[in-house]
Amino acid sequence: MSEDPSDTRVAFVLAAGLGTRMRSRTCKVLHPAAGRPLLAHVLDAVAAAGARPVVVLSRESDPARAVVPEGVPVALQEPPRGTGDAVRVALGAASGATGTCFIVYGDTVLVRPETLERLAGELRGRGAVLAILTGVVGTDNEYGRIVRGSGGDVDRIVEHRLATAAERRITESNFGAYAADLAWLRSAVPKLRANETGEVFLTDLVKVARDEGRTVAALSTEDPSEGLGVNTRADLARIDGILRDRIRERHMAAGVTFTDPRSSSVDADVEIAADAVIERGTILEGRTRVGRDSRIGPYSILRDTVVGERCRVEASVLEEATLEDDVRVGPFSHLRPGAYLERGVEMGNFGEVKASRLGSGTKMHHFSYVGDAAVGKGVNIGAGTITLNYDGARKHRTEIGDDVFIGSDTLLRAPVTVGDGAATGAGAVVTKDVPPGMLAVGMPARAIKRYERPKKAPK
């Protein structure tokens, strides 16, 4: 990223605040947007800008440690005494480092790596000790206001709640991302003092720099969303929406069709191959992957599910399932964790599959439940078939061989095996294994004769 190898980059990510305005028992930066915790978005952005992060947490926000990648230092600020105090704590964890230091608030989720890059450029280009990301966003907001001197340079930042009426009319605001010269930062932060609110404001660094006769640069971004902080649930919803807009744009640019983009929602870590079609009302969550030429939706939910190429999923719910290529699911099917459908499987309406493998070419067209089963290739599962996998205390497995014909309304009381090429009659209650090639009928089902598969009528 940076061209000068001596210009190492660190990033202080401040997340020790209490986030009281969220009214939550969960600490703020763990709330998800686009399927990932807020903090993870910020850590990604600073990493993409080539910076080594240091995360500042407090006792209250300590659970956020769970999403801090291994090797990333966490500095504890206890108690949190303000953003300036948080940077003091972060400096303690970055001793020895020189170069550029980004400071990003843990709730400034939408800041782009390219913008941080530009901010670093502004710092160096202007020979400044501090560069502030700002935006012109009108006056109906509670951002800190950027007060510029007669020469146009930044004089100070005044918090909205401490600002005079005239200062509140300033339209340029502090967006909560900074680049600073790390060596200078080390000398300047100890000069910050608690103000009338009892807090140590990072924003007061501007005054420290100005008193030393140093330059403070400001980069005004054209995209007002980059400054959105998450203080309330309403902010969280807004940011989630913007992130999802960006995600869909990214997939469309990479060759994915959305038939009604605004009605579909895609989590940040989802992968979609080119020429896939996402139909309206479709929700793709977690680590879901969709292969080339597959068509998902309308109205489907896929959670941590892998879909191969040329698949068709319609109005269904798939959780932790795997579909090989050319699989058809739905409408109205439910795949639960551990469902694995091999190539060419067809699953129709009102089917449920859990922790089971269906072999290639197997058809399960109408209202059936298959749980804890291994089903072979080319099997026909008749309407209303049910694996009775649970005896009230334990789960048992059902094994069905290749080319089996399961008659409509068959109950398979597990543990039970149906051999290759066998068949069951309509309404059979299978309590004992059916040998390969035999037809079992009745309740309980008995194997009565060899099964002759009827010839298919020519189409």
As annotated, the active-site residues are: 366
Q: How far is the CB of 194 from ligand UD1 (least distance, A)?
A: 11
Question: Does residue 174 interact with ligand UD1 by CB under 6 A?
Answer: yes
Question: Does residue 239 interact with ligand UD1 by CB under 6 A?
Answer: no
Chain-centroid distance, C-alpha 229: 18
Choices 196-204, 243-251, 301-309, 328-336; region in contact with ligand UD1 by CB under 6 A = 196-204
What is the residue-wise DSSP string for 390-436?
Answer: B-SS-B--EEE-TT-EEPTT-EEESSEEE-TT-EE-TT-EE-SPBPT
d(CA 5, CA 18): 37
Q: State both tokens at 291.
A: 């292969």
Angle, vertex CA 110, rays to CA 135 and CA 71, nearest 5: 125
Question: Does residue 414 interact with ligand UD1 by CB under 6 A?
Answer: no
Question: Does residue 178 interact with ligand UD1 by CB under 6 A?
Answer: no
Closest alpha carbon to 172 in 223, 204, 137? 137
3-state secondary structure of 372: coil
Question: Does residue 119 interact with ligand UD1 by CB under 6 A?
Answer: no
Considering only 134, 203, 362, 387, the residue that binds ligand UD1 (CB under 6 A) is 203
Question: Does residue 173 interact with ligand UD1 by CB under 6 A?
Answer: yes
Question: Does residue 172 interact with ligand UD1 by CB under 6 A?
Answer: no
What residue 143 binds from ligand UD1, Ca ion, none (CB within 5 to 8 A, per partner kind)?
Answer: ligand UD1
**Which 46-75 positions form the footprint of ligand UD1 (CB under 6 A)?**
56
d(CA 300, CA 314): 6
d(CA 397, CA 343): 22
Q: Using the minimum distance from each CB to ligand UD1, give the nearer residue, 163 or 429.
A: 163
Q: Give the interface with Ca ion as residue ranges (CB under 5 A).
A: 107, 229, 231
**Which 12-31 positions form the footprint of ligand UD1 (CB under 6 A)?**
14-17
The phi and psi torsions of 338 (rounded to 5 degrees) equal 85, 5
Question: Does residue 77 interact with ligand UD1 by CB under 6 A?
Answer: yes
Considering only 31, 33, 75, 83, the residue that binds ligand UD1 (CB under 6 A) is 83
Residue type at 170? I
In contact, 317 and 332? CB cutoff 8 Å: no
- Give the orientation angle of helix 113-125 with respect to helix 38-48, to 10 degrees: 50
Q: How far is the CB of 229 from Ca ion (least distance, A)?
A: 3
Q: How far is the CB of 107 from Ca ion (least distance, A)?
A: 5
Q: How far is the CB of 97 from ligand UD1 (least distance, A)?
A: 19
Choices 46-54, 102-110, 113-121, 339-347; region in contact with ligand UD1 by CB under 6 A = 102-110
In contact, 147 and 156? CB cutoff 8 Å: yes
d(CA 278, CA 108): 30
Tally the C-alpha atoms within 13 A of residue 380's C-alpha that lie toward its C-beta. Answer: 14
Q: How far is the CB of 27 from ligand UD1 (least distance, A)?
A: 9
Q: Which helix (H) or strand (E) holds 247?
A: helix 233-253
Question: Does residue 348 interact with ligand UD1 by CB under 6 A?
Answer: no
Question: Does residue 144 interact with ligand UD1 by CB under 6 A?
Answer: yes
Q: Using the minimum distance from each CB to ligand UD1, give the nearer residue, 238 or 446.
A: 238
In contact, 295 and 310? CB cutoff 8 Å: no
What residue 361 binds from ligand UD1, Ca ion, none (CB within 5 to 8 A, per partner kind)?
Answer: none
Q: Under the rule (CB under 6 A), what is the footprint of ligand UD1? A: 14-17, 56, 77, 80-83, 85-86, 105-108, 143-144, 157, 159, 173-176, 201-203, 229, 231
